[in-house]
């Protein structure tokens, strides 16, 4: 099925006349971060899964979606602390990672639970609410916890509402350059407590510290469709993703998200006007500061 890797069009991220950087250029650098995450996880027997658009890329392209400018990875809550310790011990000096457990400036709400970044690079993200306050803005792979979710929708919503109430306060303080450490600690504690309480649930999703995802993007999934993670081809590598990957993607993105066979070739179903990178404002692949405009 290698004919699925098509449409290597030059989606341009930056072209100032002196330097041209395409999405593919960024993808290859991000791939080096993913290679390192995979190496550390394999060495320490930690399972992870490519998620969201990265999982869609597995099925439709056996790699990146051509206009996708990041990789998203999920790790089970029960493996989270083990994952952090493995990165502390085994992550190559070419990379670094940011999370609340190691830097209290890290945002704990409505975003990834960790960023694994590459040294000697820079990226400015599309982010209007919560800017990175940690030291270092290298290109990254987003890592997020996958949590156990209560099967009772009413109870689940009550717990999410607690985070929704705190969210505007956290955003306001953060933008006033006040680090609300105690509120952040509460969010982390509350999320951990919630997941542990429902560890025998049949459902999983992103943590309740991402309160909007359940309704805007990602449904709650059956745990048996996510786990155990399975290996799939991605850019010539073997990376992990969802157990029942096509079912998960159809639940997330709709029944027509997968490429269709027109009798001669695989055809992308996403409209052309929506095929564009969405995370990158500026980047520098040869330095750790903003590039020249």
pLDDT for residue 266: 83
Residue 259 lies in a domain: yes
pLDDT for residue 128: 62
Residue 215 lies in a domain: no
Residue 199 lies in a domain: no
pLDDT tens digits for the chain (293 residues)?
A: 344 444 556 788 887 777 888 899 999 999 999 999 999 999 999 999 999 999 999 999 999 999 999 999 999 999 999 999 999 999 999 999 999 999 999 999 877 899 999 999 999 888 767 788 899 999 999 999 999 999 998 999 899 899 989 999 998 998 898 999 999 999 999 999 999 999 999 999 988 888 655 444 558 899 999 999 999 999 999 999 999 999 999 999 999 999 988 888 888 888 888 888 888 888 989 887 777 65
pLDDT for residue 240: 98
pLDDT for residue 9: 60
Residue 244's domain is classified under what CATH number? 3.30.460
What is the total count of domains within the chain? 1
What distance in Å separates the CA atoms of residue 95 and residue 99, rounded to the nearest whole number? 14
For residue 140, list its beta bridge partners: 117
Residue 193 lies in a domain: no
Structural domain containing residue 255: 2-147+222-284
What kind and span of H or E run contains 220?
Answer: none
What distance in Å separates the CA atoms of residue 111 and residue 115, rounded to the nearest whole number? 10
Residue 242 lies in a domain: yes
Task: Rounding to the nearest 10 degrees, give the CA dihedral for residues 90, 95, 101, 104.
Answer: 150
Residue 289 lies in a domain: no
Structure tokens at 29: 């650098």
Q: Which residue in this structure is represented by tokens 């993200």?
A: 125
Residue 172 lies in a domain: no
Is the peptide bond prior to 228 cis by the omega test (within 30 degrees of 0)?
A: yes
pLDDT for residue 16: 74
pLDDT for residue 7: 53
Residue 293 lies in a domain: no
Structure tokens at 216: 């805007």
What distance in Å separates the CA atoms of residue 57 and residue 49, rounded to the nearest whole number? 13
pLDDT for residue 5: 41
DSSP, collapsed to helix, strand or coil, labels residue 116 as strand
pLDDT for residue 175: 86
| One-character DSSP codes across 244-274 | THHHHHHHHH-TT-S-EE-SSSEE--S-GGG
């Amino acid at each position: 099925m290698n004919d699925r890797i098509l449409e290597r069009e030059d989606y341009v991220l930056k072209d100032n006349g002196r330097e041209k950087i395409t999405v593919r250029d960024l993808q290859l650098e991000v791939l080096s971060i993913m290679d390192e995450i995979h190496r550390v996880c394999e060495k320490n027997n930690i399972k992870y899964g490519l998620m969201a658009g990265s999982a869609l890329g597995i099925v439709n392209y056996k790699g990146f979606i051509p206009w996708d400018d990041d990789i998203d990875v999920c790790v089970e809550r029960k493996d989270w602390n083990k994952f952090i310790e493995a990165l502390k011990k085994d992550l190559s000096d070419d990379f670094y990672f940011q999370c609340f457990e190691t830097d209290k400036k890290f945002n704990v709400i409505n975003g990834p639970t960790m960023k694994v970044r590459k040294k000697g690079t820079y990226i400015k993200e599309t982010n209007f609410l919560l800017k990175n306050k940690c030291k270092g803005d290298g290109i990254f792979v987003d890592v997020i916890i996958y949590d156990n979710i209560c099967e009772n929708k009413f109870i689940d919503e009550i717990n999410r509402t607690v985070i929704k109430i705190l969210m505007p306060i956290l955003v306001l303080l953060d933008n006033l350059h006040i680090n609300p450490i105690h509120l952040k600690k509460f969010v982390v504690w509350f999320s951990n407590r919630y997941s542990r309480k429902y560890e025998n649930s049949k459902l999983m999703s992103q943590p309740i510290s991402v309160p909007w995802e359940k309704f805007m993007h990602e449904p709650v999934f059956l745990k048996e469709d996510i786990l155990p993670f399975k290996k799939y081809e991605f850019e010539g590598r073997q990376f992990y993703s969802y157990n029942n990957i096509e079912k998960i993607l159809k639940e997330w993105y709709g029944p027509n998200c997968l490429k269709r066979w027109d009798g001669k070739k695989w055809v992308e179903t996403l409209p052309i006007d929506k095929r564009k990178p969405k995370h990158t404002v500026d980047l520098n692949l040869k330095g750790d500061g903003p590039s020249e405009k």
